[in-house]
């Protein structure tokens, strides 16, 4: 009798193990598939020309996405200029200041905004920036990406600041250090790694946003020289090439996708590697 029970239990255990293994695999599999496919399709088109040349006119072979790569970084820079200060300071406010009611409302607003489809952001910035200026611009692109980043950074900053034990705040205040100094030079400094992580992850996320850029940055086949001019960006370029009828452009789109994917992966992995070291310090 006991033998049967025992065998049944072992069988059940093996089933559960197998099932959970399968689920884990099903999670990792799409990631591997994507990587493999993009790598396979894009690696062939990655060459020096891809990184250094502008797109060639329609019909001509060759050319590259140099302006799109640079443009993406430029947009990320502009976005960071807007998103990082506002987001971090907003996160500091939520964590260290404010009242319970007010902060609850702000948090709710931020969470809602995080869920707003990015294309709507694009349309809003189109109406507010592109129309008055009567042109698509890098500025508008930076603004839209920045505003998408704001609630994201605000929430991650707040979460990280909340993790700082209250003991540090109390100790600093008990030394007679004013509150603003305590917040900046003790609390934020302690949480700095986490805040930077949050910022980098937010940047990695908006790096791939395509829809909002359609209405704002618009794309550019040449170098961008002024903030008030349209600017190329990797996702935009990939989109435009992908829906085109040209084989050559398709190959370049895959290459662009590979570069973008690599960038996002690198940031994520890099962030994890950098934050891992410090945790090994604790006794």
Of 153, 186, 213, 271, the one binding other proteins by CB under 8 A: 186
* Per-residue x/- track, 62-101, other proteins (CB under 8 A): -------------------------------------x--
With binding defined as CB under 8 A, does residue 168 bind other proteins? yes
Distance CA 80, CA 229 (A): 19
Q: Are 59 and 266 in contact (CB under 8 A)?
A: no
Of 68, 80, 172, 238, the one binding other proteins by CB under 8 A: 172
Identify residues 244-283 at the interface with other proteins (CB under 8 A).
Answer: 281-283
Cβ 87 to other proteins, closest distance in Å? Answer: 22
* Residue from 259, 214, 250 nearest 232 by CA: 214
Q: Residue 218 phi/psi, 5° resolution? A: 75, -35
* Residue from 205, 219, 212, 266 nearest 54 by CA: 219
Distance CA 47, CA 172 (A): 55
Nearer to other proteins (CB atom), residue 5 or residue 101: 101
With binding defined as CB under 8 A, does residue 171 bind other proteins? yes
Cβ 192 to other proteins, closest distance in Å? Answer: 8
With binding defined as CB under 8 A, does residue 181 bind other proteins? yes
Alpha helices in the chain (DSSP H): 2-42, 48-52, 66-96, 100-115, 118-125, 131-133, 138-163, 166-174, 179-181, 189-207, 211-215, 234-242, 247-279
Cβ 168 to other proteins, closest distance in Å? Answer: 6
With binding defined as CB under 8 A, does residue 170 bind other proteins? yes
Residue 67 vs residues 32, 55, 185, 246: alpha-carbon distances, Å: 29, 8, 40, 20
Of 57, 115, 178, 245, the one binding other proteins by CB under 8 A: 178
The stretch near other proteins (CB under 8 A) out of 106-114, 167-175, 199-207, 255-263 is 167-175
Q: Residue 231 phi/psi, 5° resolution? A: -140, 145
With binding defined as CB under 8 A, does residue 185 bind other proteins? yes
With binding defined as CB under 8 A, does residue 132 bind other proteins? no
The stretch near other proteins (CB under 8 A) out of 127-135, 180-188, 199-207, 262-270 is 180-188
């Amino acid at each position: 009798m006991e033998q049967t029970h025992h065998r049944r239990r072992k069988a059940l255990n093996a089933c559960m193990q197998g099932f959970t293994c399968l689920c884990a695999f099903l999670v990792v599999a799409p990631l591997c598939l994507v990587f493999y496919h993009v790598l396979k399709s894009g690696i062939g088109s990655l060459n020096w020309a891809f990184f250094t040349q502008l797109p060639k006119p329609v019909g001509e072979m060759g050319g590259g996405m140099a302006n799109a790569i640079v443009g993406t970084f430029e947009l990320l820079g502009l976005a960071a200029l807007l998103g990082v200060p506002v987001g971090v300071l907003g996160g500091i406010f939520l964590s260290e200041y404010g009242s319970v009611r007010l902060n609850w409302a702000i948090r709710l607003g931020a969470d809602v905004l995080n869920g707003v489809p990015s294309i709507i952001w694009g349309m809003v910035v189109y109406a507010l920036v592109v129309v008055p200026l009567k042109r698509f611009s890098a500025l508008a692109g930076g603004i839209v990406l920045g505003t998408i980043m704001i609630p994201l950074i605000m929430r991650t900053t707040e979460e990280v600041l909340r993790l700082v034990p209250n003991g540090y705040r109390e100790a600093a205040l008990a030394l007679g250090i004013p509150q603003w100094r305590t917040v900046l030079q003790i609390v934020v400094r302690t949480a700095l790694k986490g805040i930077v992580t949050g910022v980098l992850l937010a940047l990695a996320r908006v790096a791939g946003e395509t829809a909002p850029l359609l209405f704002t940055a618009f794309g550019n086949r040449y170098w961008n020289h002024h903030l008030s001019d349209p600017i190329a960006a990797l996702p935009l370029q990939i989109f435009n090439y992908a829906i085109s009828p040209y084989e050559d452009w398709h190959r370049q789109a895959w290459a662009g996708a590979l570069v973008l994917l690599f960038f996002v992966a690198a940031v994520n992995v890099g962030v994890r590697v950098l934050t891992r070291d410090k945790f090994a310090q604790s006794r």
